[in-house]
Structure 1
């Protein structure tokens, strides 16, 4: 086998991704990049990532992995761009970037970005309501990281739990959330790095699992705990998750508590440029409108109409 082909197929990462629908086509296109037979997708941004893939492959073939590995930053960029596309609701574009991130991470033997991207694809599948695909992607991410540390294992197990809960597999969801909690305990005993999966994120997953399994009160409790633990810089997550919390408080009949929670989200909403945050504000207006006979609900509704564009009313 020629060195370029061995360099691609010899990476253990790719065997795990065979569980992902459509992956053989992805692998075939990566082979095309290696031999110069790639065709353009047609979007300038994606073309840029394709060109980066070819450069990574060329460096790998000519000089070995040590020289190519720094180019793995391109996979991080592609993953982040895909995540931003999800945030704006551009799911087709997001999937293209995620596929590029997988290709780049595989070419650079970058296990961390590879697993993180699969996990991101699982999150997207959950957003779109595809429980079985979310489970397959989350399981592939976990299987691709056998040497991961406890924080990463918690990160992946939390996603597996949420996916299983959406799919309706209670036993698997609870098993994975227990695993995530145990791994988080181990991770926290080693230190608390900023900017990675943390107890706030774990409690968010606990909330999502409880909600999908029908425990709305438990999901509210866990989401409140998540909010208390969240670092202050995570404004976008705070707006989205507080709005979600308010929706669940309203489901429990706690109208005034929901209005207070919604107001904290609405107050910060102008500082966030996020399609998903916008969606939560639209939902807020729709849900609160029938309750405007209540003074708290009326005040919130009037504030929302004053702050939000007319298209969101």
Structure 2
């Protein structure tokens, strides 16, 4: 039996990151929780790895992610003295990778696979020149020919799935999107077609991948969402679809904001804006609003206020709603205004903007209504307005039983925690009782 050799690579990285054994273990456990995995590492595990024991396969990406977050750069298996994975996304083409991703997503027993569940702040995001025109990644297949009718069907299906997501949440709509990607869209991408049809189908597939990633975020499957987003970027480049490319980068910034990764959110928001130099007014508002939120999360008041002013001015110039997946309306703008104010310490101003956002949001966005009303209630309670908060939470509960959304569930868990200290108040007690009697388990 070969004698174990100390892991010098991991030891060097620990020193570079200025982490103790216990701190690394804590970071690994935190990354595991984000991925929906129960990992219980402690300093004794790290000590064994340093002495040469190989970590189990499911923990290795968590080690790399914990170190990458601390160091602010990607850390590879080789650098950390760990065996490289036997398979990886780089070994397959665009369509094959999409099928693998969708099939894994369709199988409930595989949704906790580490590669699909881990969010990475060190992900390398391709620029537009890197993906533009990479249509050779998708190979034509003999025997089947498609036309614009098939493209239109994919576009319409994506719109319907988006409507279901808005009304009922990502957990309801995403499984059918994954199935549609694997069983219908992927074969279309392999089919014979004219150049115009092939490019239009790639663009339609890109839109659907973006939407599926967005719904994975809603479910709390952040690594899976990143995988879909990266596929959306590949397909957008192959189809020369600038709009979906920018929209996807912006969506990745939203995801980073939700997870509290400020520098990553800023980087992605700036990349989205840089990739769209000729954006119309609504798209400009869409992009600068997210830049404002990201900058505010990082405490950059000057940039945040400048971006939000630009977003407001652009929205004033906008004349139409734009395409469904890239639209940006007054409700969304007021949400960004609210988040900027809150990040910069203006809680009362944030409440005013959220109230306006809720007032002008369309009723078809049921999932968004639940989340935003719950967020408003949290901030009303924060400034001591208990009765107003209770009323707003009741409004959120009106729609909550119809929504299957991880983000909505999180807001309800927060409500339950915040209301418990106030159960002597009659309204708070009634709210608590109403929630307890709901058929939705949180």
TM-score range, shorter chain: 0.7 to 0.9
After TM superposition, give the deviation of residue 56 of structure 1 in Å.
Answer: 5.2
Q: Does 1:208 align with 2:365?
A: no
> Which of these residues, 63, 69, 79, is aligned with residue 199 of structure 2?
69
Change (3 A) 1:147 1:241: same
Change (3 A) 1:144 1:53: farther
Change (3 A) 1:35 1:113: closer
Match of 1:249 in 2: 380
Match of 1:8 in 2: none
After TM superposition, give the deviation of residue 203 of structure 1 in Å.
Answer: 0.4
For residues 184 and 220 of structure 1, the distance between their equivalents in structure 2, rounded to whole angstroms, comes to 21
Match of 2:428 in 1: 297
TM-score of the two chains, using structure 1 as the length reference = 0.81
> Which of these residues, 137, 142, 155, is aligned with residue 34 of structure 1?
137
Change (3 A) 1:155 1:295: same
Q: Does 1:121 align with 2:252?
A: yes
Structure with larger Rg? 2
Q: Does 1:151 align with 2:288?
A: no
Contact in 1 for aligned 2:292/2:307 (Cα 8 Å): yes
Match of 2:230 in 1: 99
For residues 121 and 260 of structure 1, the distance between their equivalents in structure 2, rounded to whole angstroms, comes to 33
For residues 236 and 302 of structure 1, the distance between their equivalents in structure 2, rounded to whole angstroms, comes to 22
After TM superposition, give the deviation of residue 67 of structure 1 in Å.
Answer: 3.2
Contact in 2 for aligned 1:34/1:57 (Cα 8 Å): no
Contact in 1 for aligned 2:206/2:235 (Cα 8 Å): yes
Match of 1:13 in 2: none
After TM superposition, give the deviation of residue 55 of structure 1 in Å.
Answer: 6.9
Task: State the Cα RMSD in Å.
Answer: 3.0
After TM superposition, give the deviation of residue 186 of structure 1 in Å.
Answer: 0.6
Superposition map of 1:147-186 within 5 A: 147-186=278-317
TM-score of the two chains, using structure 2 as the length reference = 0.58
For residues 323 and 138 of structure 2, the distance between their equivalents in structure 1, rounded to whole angstroms, comes to 41
For residues 396 and 260 of structure 2, the distance between their equivalents in structure 1, rounded to whole angstroms, comes to 24
Q: What secondary structure does 1:231 align onto?
A: coil
Change (3 A) 1:191 1:81: closer
> Which of these residues, 15, 19, 22, is aligned with residue 124 of structure 2?
22
Q: Could you list the per-position Cα deviations for residues 231-262 of structure 1 after superposition, in whole angstroms to 9, with x for gaps in the alignment?
A: 11111100000000000000000000000000
Q: Could you list the per-position Cα deviations for residues 253-299 of structure 1 after superposition, in whole angstroms to 9, with x for gaps in the alignment?
A: 00000000000001110111111101111110110011001011011
Q: Could you list the per-position Cα deviations for residues 131-162 of structure 1 after superposition, in whole angstroms to 9, with x for gaps in the alignment?
A: 11001101111111111110000000000000
Q: Could you list the per-position Cα deviations for residues 76-105 of structure 1 after superposition, in whole angstroms to 9, with x for gaps in the alignment?
A: 110110011000000111000000000001
For residues 199 and 63 of structure 1, the distance between their equivalents in structure 2, rounded to whole angstroms, comes to 40
For residues 221 and 307 of structure 1, the distance between their equivalents in structure 2, rounded to whole angstroms, comes to 30
Change (3 A) 1:97 1:57: same
For residues 24 and 180 of structure 1, the distance between their equivalents in structure 2, rounded to whole angstroms, comes to 26
Change (3 A) 1:24 1:79: closer
> Which of these residues, 262, 279, 282, is aligned with residue 413 of structure 2?
282
Change (3 A) 1:266 1:182: same
Q: What secondary structure does 1:296 align onto?
A: helix
For residues 272 and 164 of structure 1, the distance between their equivalents in structure 2, rounded to whole angstroms, comes to 31
For residues 268 and 74 of structure 1, the distance between their equivalents in structure 2, rounded to whole angstroms, comes to 31
Q: What secondary structure does 1:23 align onto?
A: coil
Q: What secondary structure does 1:233 align onto?
A: coil
How many residues are matched? 279
